[in-house]
Structure 1
Amino acid sequence: MDLRGFDLNLLIVFSALAQHRSVTRAGESIGLSQPAMSAALARLRLLLGDPLFVKTGAEMRPTPRAAQLVAPVRQALEIVQGEVLLTQAFDPATSTRTFCILTPDIGESNNIPRLLSLLAAEAPGVNIRVLSMPRHAAYEALETGAVDLAVGYFPDLQREGLFVQRLFRNDHVCMVRRDHPVIGERLSLKQFMAADHATVRPEGREHVFEQYLQARGIHRRVRLEVAHFMSLLPIISTSDLIATVPRDLADVCVRYGHIRVLPTPLKVPAIEIHQFWHRRVHKDIAHQWLRGAFRRLFPAHSGESTPA
């Protein structure tokens, strides 16, 4: 028999008849009238080629074929009720789930410690795995489920099939060591252009500040290029180099290094930091909690989620 021609509601009728041994009582238990139950039993008999339940005295007794079906039908209904129709549940306080987050090293340094503090209070068993990859690979990672959430500056993720939500706006600042021999409390454009600079060229990702300079034909002396933003912490702390970086990175460096932060003398555009997720997980309650956790890290700045 082709399953497509079988009304699965008839399994509910069968189970009720097996339990109550009465068409009337079985119908009352599942909200069907006696004529509707009789019609359903007739369909069952026709489909299965067996009388199934036969009137014997005051009750309907199962045939041998029906007796064989009682246990598998009950099991099938329990699976549907308990696994297919089960309402999604996620309790962060007891969950041991692992979430995979895609974010650059700036996000690792600034956002993940905040997230861990939140987890310690609300979800002590939840685990976090952080990945970094080129921007061109981020979409596929979200699409395949290799990562649950992408957090950071990902201009290539403004694509169909994804949702996006702004978390905060990140402007640019300059970092120098606290006892810099030339640069004091203010940084002029002349000092900026005369200084030796350290810059970051992350693999597979563009540095917004470098793009800004290139578009305007501004050339300064770059004495050092590194691949990771966090490498700047010991470098700027122990040299006379200057680095122009997003403010959230500078905040981390100030906390842990011998560093001062100064406004940049150039009008550099700010970076919009977003979180991105695939539409597959948009309604998933666990993913909703994770996104809500990131929103709460930046309550004054987060915007509404929208399709990318």
Structure 2
Amino acid sequence: MLGSLPTSEQSMTQIHKIHFMDIRSVDLNLLVLFDAMARLRSVSRAAEAIGLSQPATSAALARLRATFDDDLFVRAGAQMEPTPRAQALSPVVQRVVQAIQAEILQPAGFDPASAERSFTLLTPDIGEVAFLPGVLRRLRQAAPLVRLRALSMPRTAAAHALEAGEADLAVGFFPDLQKAGYFRQALFRTSYTCIACAHNAAAPSRMTARQYLAARHIVVRPDGREHMLDRFLEDKGWHRHVTLELSHFMSLLSLLPGSDLVATVPDDIATVVQRHIAVKTIELPFKPPQLQVQQYWHRRMQNDASNRWLRGLFYEVNRRDANARLPDWQAAG
């Protein structure tokens, strides 16, 4: 007799029986009905609890009995009492139903105040100095255990990193991500400013096209990227005299002072450089192109709660009106 077997042997026997029941034939909705019947002992009350008509509930109960090859619940007076088979299954089914409801069917949430995790961002060094200070201030208040990792990589590699889950968000100018499979959200429009050392006598406050092209230029191309300005000048047939090509904007802090070099950089970089060294701005002999700075994410992260929170934070902190100056987060507190 099964009842005389040790507990471990009973479990093995039950598992052996389950092995012969094809799980693909089990309608999980029937387990919800089973749980309601086990608790309420009434077809009508179970029907009301699970939102079915009484005939539909009776039909489902018939399928449930056929699935387990047992009557499961039989009438005894005013109630439907469980059979021994139903009594044995009841606590297991209850745990399964509760687990599905609490852990599978509940929408995934994200609590930034208690979350202890890391996010990876793709952004060039301009993004690190322009976007991260304000974000870090907000993290200290709202998500003290959250960590950020900023990476700079070629535009062609950004798509793979987002698709593979190696990065959560890309922030900046990524025209290669403006394609199917990626979402984007505009943060602000900006343009370019020409700067030079404040004591650079060779750089007037306003340049003609001839003077601009003949000046000794520093050109910054992070990760070898071509900037919109490069293409803009090429379309005009203009070629600058490039003395030095760099991969990091922040190198300008040590290379501009005391030199006769000029650099045409995104407005945010000009603002940051001005906060650290004495520079002057030079009026350009053309209207520079506009840059649309955006944040990008892969479509598989569209409904992820933590990613929604992250990009919401970036948007709130870094959203600006067109051509607005970079906020001075350090001065702000």
- TM-score, normalising length: structure 2: 0.82
Secondary structure of 1:264's aligned partner: coil
Asked whether the equivalents of residues 195 and 262 of structure 2 are also in contact (C-alpha less than 8 Å), the reply is: yes
User: In the aligned structure 1, how far is the partner of 2:212 from the partner of 2:60?
Assistant: 85
Whether 1:298 and 2:316 are equivalent positions in the alignment is no
Seen in structure 2, the aligned counterparts of structure 1 residues 193 and 83 have a Cα distance that, compared at 3 Å, is same
Higher alpha-carbon deviation: 48-57 or 109-118: 48-57
Asked whether the equivalents of residues 101 and 131 of structure 1 are also in contact (C-alpha less than 8 Å), the reply is: yes
Q: 1:107 aligns with which of 124, 127, 135?
A: 127
| 1:241-280 pair list within 5 angstroms | 241-280=261-300
Secondary structure of 1:179's aligned partner: coil
Whether 1:221 and 2:241 are equivalent positions in the alignment is yes
Per the alignment, residue 9 of structure 1 pairs with: 29
User: In the aligned structure 2, how far is the partner of 1:266 from the partner of 1:125?
Assistant: 47
Q: 1:203 aligns with which of 216, 223, 230?
A: 223
Per the alignment, residue 111 of structure 2 pairs with: 91
Measure how far apart 1:270 and its partner are.
Answer: 2.0
- TM-score, normalising length: structure 1: 0.88
Over the aligned positions, Cα root-mean-square deviation in angstroms equals 2.3
Structure 2 letter corresponding to 1:68:
A
Secondary structure of 2:254's aligned partner: helix
Could you report, residue by residue, the CA deviation over 1:222-273 in whole angstroms, capped at 9, with x for unpaired residues? 2222222221121112422111111111111111222222232233322221
Measure how far apart 1:184 and its partner are.
Answer: 4.3
Structure 2 letter corresponding to 1:61:
E
User: In the aligned structure 1, how far is the partner of 2:240 from the partner of 2:36?
Assistant: 82
Could you report, residue by residue, the CA deviation over 1:169-224 in whole angstroms, capped at 9, with x for unpaired residues? 22111111112223343344344234222112333421222333333332333222
Asked whether the equivalents of residues 167 and 301 of structure 1 are also in contact (C-alpha less than 8 Å), the reply is: no
Higher alpha-carbon deviation: 33-42 or 259-268: 33-42
Q: How many residues align?
A: 302
Q: 2:102 aligns with which of 82, 88, 113?
A: 82
Asked whether the equivalents of residues 244 and 264 of structure 1 are also in contact (C-alpha less than 8 Å), the reply is: no
Seen in structure 2, the aligned counterparts of structure 1 residues 189 and 292 have a Cα distance that, compared at 3 Å, is same
Higher alpha-carbon deviation: 82-91 or 146-155: 82-91
Could you report, residue by residue, the CA deviation over 1:8-37 in whole angstroms, capped at 9, with x for unpaired residues? 221111112222333344344434455444
Seen in structure 2, the aligned counterparts of structure 1 residues 205 and 190 have a Cα distance that, compared at 3 Å, is closer
Q: Which ranges in structure 2 are unaligned for 5 or more consecutive residues?
A: 1-20, 324-333
User: In the aligned structure 1, how far is the partner of 2:320 from the partner of 2:193?
Assistant: 23
Structure 2 letter corresponding to 1:11:
L
Secondary structure of 2:223's aligned partner: coil
User: In the aligned structure 1, how far is the partner of 2:291 from the partner of 2:121?
Assistant: 20
Per the alignment, residue 174 of structure 1 pairs with: 194
User: In the aligned structure 1, how far is the partner of 2:218 from the partner of 2:249?
Assistant: 10
Per the alignment, residue 329 of structure 2 pairs with: none
Measure how far apart 1:279 and its partner are.
Answer: 1.6
Per the alignment, residue 305 of structure 1 pairs with: none
Asked whether the equivalents of residues 98 and 127 of structure 1 are also in contact (C-alpha less than 8 Å), the reply is: yes
Secondary structure of 1:203's aligned partner: helix
User: In the aligned structure 2, how far is the partner of 1:77 from the partner of 1:220?
Assistant: 70
Measure how far apart 1:133 and its partner are.
Answer: 0.9
Per the alignment, residue 120 of structure 1 pairs with: 140
User: In the aligned structure 2, how far is the partner of 1:75 from the partner of 1:202?
Assistant: 55
User: In the aligned structure 1, how far is the partner of 2:43 from the partner of 2:232?
Assistant: 79
User: In the aligned structure 1, how far is the partner of 2:281 from the partner of 2:83?
Assistant: 85
Asked whether the equivalents of residues 172 and 264 of structure 1 are also in contact (C-alpha less than 8 Å), the reply is: no
Structure 1 letter corresponding to 2:138:
L
Q: 2:41 aligns with which of 8, 15, 21?
A: 21
Measure how far apart 1:111 and its partner are.
Answer: 1.1
Seen in structure 2, the aligned counterparts of structure 1 residues 267 and 30 have a Cα distance that, compared at 3 Å, is closer
